Amino acid sequence: MTGIVPIVVAALFGAVVGSFLNVCIYRLPLGASVVWPGSACARCRRPLAWFENLPVVSYLVLRGKCRSCGEEISIRYPIVELITAAMFAIGWWYYGPSVLLASRLVLGCGLIVLFEIDREHQILPHAVTLPGILVGFLFSLFTEPGWQASLLGIVLGGGILLAIGYGYFLVRHEEGLGMGDFKMLAMIGAFLGWRLTLVTLMMASLVGSLVGLILIVARRGDMKSALPFGTFLALGAAGAAMVGAGALDWYLSLW
């Protein structure tokens, strides 16, 4: 199916999914159920009417404020909805209807949730990473990267960060990497396979170092500021999924 209509439908569906991802981002760190009860204002607790729950549109109509108490609604809501909508639209356009598309979108949704929760709270909930490892492996039985590469990705992705984290602990006697980080990279490995897991790690380290340097230069942090590595892993995995294994070949050709 080509043409503009399916892409628009994919975007609309993506916006609705994005709305659910917002619920996950808000509730998972609180340990609350993501399916019940319905959405309510974070301050006055008034349940939202259906027309206050429309992705992006409601935020614009309400001008970013709760109708009852005037509490500001985070700009995160429409941003997450727009990014998810764009991801679904571009994914449909690029992959077409396929198991690979489903696999990439499920991973993408997980990455969006982990990116934002890690950025806000510096945690990576097991409720996302552990099922993610299983789901990624199950997808690999039917599509890229194949189950052997997926299994290697889980072991390599989890193992590398576990080793680095353990080594850092032995040397510095403090935790450098969160325990969530290695489960997150294992999840990425399950979906993308070991090759793209290496690309993910390279990209995440690169982006993380750049942001760290910028913060130090801007004097807004020091060498020990804890940067949420999961946030950079999410960016790295998104980059790796897009540029493919070509980046790894290029990198290895430099040596």
Which residues sit at the interface with Zn ion, rule CB under 5 A? 41, 43-44, 66, 68-69, 71
* Residue (71 or 120) nearer to Zn ion, CB: 71
Closest CB to Zn ion among residues 43, 172:
43
Cβ distance 207 to 235 under 8 Å? yes
Q: Which helix or strand (DSSP H or E) is residue 73 part of?
A: none
12 CB-side CA count, 13 A? 6
CB distance 84 to 14 below 8 Å: yes
| Nearest alpha carbon to residue 91 among 111, 76, 106, 110 | 106
- For 10, half-sphere exposure in the C-beta direction (CA atoms, 13 angstrom radius) is 23
Whichever of 46 and 121 has its CB closer to Zn ion, that residue is 46
- Residue 22: CB minimum distance to Zn ion, A: 16
Rg (CA), the chain: 19
* Beta carbon nearer to Zn ion, 45 or 219: 45
Biggest alpha carbon–alpha carbon distance for the chain: 62
In the complex, least distance from residue 73 CB atom to Zn ion, rounded to whole angstroms: 9
Least distance to Zn ion from the beta carbon of 45, Å? 7
Q: How far apart are CA 151 and CA 133, in angstroms?
A: 10
The least distance separating Zn ion from the CB of residue 69, rounded to whole angstroms, comes to 3
Check residue 175 and report its DSSP letter.
-
Q: How far is the CB of 74 from Zn ion (least distance, A)?
A: 13
C-beta neighbour count of 139 within 10 angstroms = 22
Nearer to Zn ion, 50 or 255 (CB): 50
239, β-bridge pairs:
none
Q: Cβ of residue 40: shortest distance to Zn ion, in angstroms?
A: 8
Q: What is the DSSP letter of 125?
A: -
- Give the nearer residue to Zn ion in terms of CB position, either 1 or 69: 69
